[in-house]
Structure 1
């Protein structure tokens, strides 16, 4: 996935009020930008870090610019969670994500209850699989962790996936790891014990977990390879 040509580089001054960040541009001007990430951004929001921002052509937006990625210790990290499903859809179509066999149809944003949707329904030679996608931006000592903050929504999705699995469908979670310095992936029990325990429970009931790592540069983000996943 190529990033918009309107991207610029700058320096992160601070992230605040969850969805806002101040960025100093290379010409010295300061912009308040939208931060499209509801997590804590632990390990990828250090003041002084290089960033990439993109400009929207939507005239109705209060903040025209969005934070795309942050560089920490020389590693670019994709933090724009609105890009994640597009990345995964692209990798599914191109066969980079091949855990479901030959795919015939990919349906996004599938309603599974009165108040909930899952990211994809994948139809393949393995049958129908409901797939929930999680953006993973946190890595510590070579391990990619999800989540980076307590996620009751993520736990709810696991319960829904177990119900679908028990109804005879395939059910899976894909962690999209948008950084190059991880070699494996685990649930972040040190951040959200309830979610980590729900992962183990869901896995014991047939839900599958797939971490995939993306190559992240200031011009492009592309899912490249699977990583090992361990529950504990």
Structure 2
């Protein structure tokens, strides 16, 4: 899975108002890019960091550029665009690279379900021997010394999704929490108890109730602005729930 066009490299000046980022391009000019991430982006917005932007020629767009990647620390890339993980997960599942979710013949996105009126990211069906799998996808970019943490801010929405997955398991379906690890420096994934203790508690309750938790890392690479193998999920990483 790659971007359709090479990305534009720049240097981050600042992120502000959540959805805006000022970036200095190599020619010295400055542009304002859309920041497609509603989270805190802890560790992913250091001043003067190398960033990569996608560019759109759609005249109806207010902002031509979208922030996609950041060099969070020297030599480590993170994809901060939270619109990407669903596609990353779907591509990996449909390509048969996620062994735990192999064998399903149909995949639908954004299907409404649950008592709390959620929309599931991926609904897998048509397996010969397994029940339907309800897959909630989360983006992981918060890293600390090889460990990845989710969430990077208190998330009532994420808590709701865990409750919905538990309800599906109670009904005999599969409930799956799928962490897309979009940071090349992350080797394991943990709940961020120090940020949202309730989410960590609820995640462990969900696992005890039969919700499956998976984590797969993306092969992020960017050389001279030309993404290679960008965004594809290539390997699983451990999820550690012990406190």
Secondary structure of the 1:106 match is strand
Structure having the larger proportion of residues in strand? 1
For the residues of structure 1 that align with 2:4 and 2:11, how far apart are their CA atoms?
Answer: 19
In the alignment, is the contact (CA less than 8 A) between 1:101 and 1:126 conserved in 2? no
Q: CA offsets per residue over residues 144-173 of structure 1, 9 Å max, x none?
A: 111111111000000011111101110010
Number of residue-to-residue matches in the alignment: 232
For the residues of structure 2 that align with 1:16 and 1:147, how far apart are their CA atoms?
Answer: 20
- Residue 59 of structure 1: how far off its partner (Å): 2.4
- The corresponding residue for 1:202 is 206
- The corresponding residue for 2:122 is 120
Counterpart pick for 1:230 among 200, 216, 240? 240
Alignment of 1:2-41 (within 5 A): 2-5=2-5, 7-41=7-41
Secondary structure of the 2:90 match is helix
Q: Which has the higher mean CA deviation after the structures are superposed, 205-214 or 2-11?
A: 2-11
Q: CA offsets per residue over residues 84-117 of structure 1, 9 Å max, x none?
A: 1111111001111110231211111110047320
For the residues of structure 2 that align with 1:76 and 1:101, how far apart are their CA atoms?
Answer: 29
- The corresponding residue for 2:160 is 156
TM-score, normalization by structure 2? 0.92
In the alignment, is the contact (CA less than 8 A) between 1:129 and 1:171 conserved in 2? yes
- The corresponding residue for 2:87 is 86
Structure 1 residues without counterparts, runs of 5 or longer: none
Secondary structure of the 1:161 match is helix
In the alignment, is the contact (CA less than 8 A) between 1:100 and 1:126 conserved in 2? no
- Label 1:6 to 1:225 Cα distance change in 2 as closer, same or farther (>3 A): closer
Alignment of 1:95-134 (within 5 A): 95-113=96-114, 115-123=117-125, 124=127, 125-134=129-138
TM-score, normalization by structure 1? 0.96
Structure 2 residues without counterparts, runs of 5 or longer: none
For the residues of structure 2 that align with 1:215 and 1:112, how far apart are their CA atoms?
Answer: 32
For the residues of structure 2 that align with 1:221 and 1:116, how far apart are their CA atoms?
Answer: 26
Secondary structure of the 2:84 match is helix
For the residues of structure 2 that align with 1:100 and 1:3, how far apart are their CA atoms?
Answer: 25
- The corresponding residue for 1:57 is 57
Coordinate RMSD, CA, aligned: 1.2
- Label 1:115 to 1:62 Cα distance change in 2 as closer, same or farther (>3 A): farther
In the alignment, is the contact (CA less than 8 A) between 2:77 and 2:185 conserved in 1? no
In the alignment, is the contact (CA less than 8 A) between 2:146 and 2:186 conserved in 1? yes
